[in-house]
Amino acid sequence: MAVAPKGFVSLDCADPVSLAEFWAAMLGGEIMFTSATTVDIPTEWVWLSTMKIPDYVPPTWPEGDVPKQIHLDEAAGAHPGVGVQGESLSPRNQVARWRATAR
């Protein structure tokens, strides 16, 4: 028996609303809860929480100055235009910081 059968993946950030909107669109979830510092998004396979952190410094990956703080992999089917969709959803146009792959 699991002690904690459910949980969240929490993503630290400077702007929880825009990050939550991005992930809700990417994963097909809907924003369920919003506060001054937190936005929660349930999806079919994971619950995400974006959390505003004072003085947040984003990772500079692939450079090593500020290392990655989380690595979230998702699987996508072979849908035409998946890369274009991902680019249009990328917060602050950081397209080079992630990629969508189809198997």
Nearest alpha-carbon partner for 28 in 12, 48, 9? 48
Q: Cα separations (Å) of 95 from 45, 54, 90?
A: 24, 25, 6
What pLDDT, on a 0 to 100 scale, did the predictor assign at position 50?
Answer: 93
Nearest alpha-carbon partner for 74 in 39, 7, 22, 12? 22
Q: Provide the residue ranges of all domains of the chain, joining segments of one domain with +.
A: 9-55+73-97
For the entire predicted model, the pTM comes to: 0.66
42-71 pLDDT per residue, tens: 988 889 999 999 999 888 877 778 877 665
Gap between the Cα atoms of 24 and 47, Å rounded: 10
What is the CATH code of the structural domain delimited by 9-55+73-97?
A: 3.10.180.10
What pLDDT, on a 0 to 100 scale, did the predictor assign at position 64?
Answer: 77
Report residue 54 as tokens. 């004072």
What pLDDT, on a 0 to 100 scale, did the predictor assign at position 84?
Answer: 47
* 21-29: average pLDDT: 91
What pLDDT, on a 0 to 100 scale, did the predictor assign at position 62?
Answer: 75
Other C-beta atoms within 10 Å of 99: how many? 10
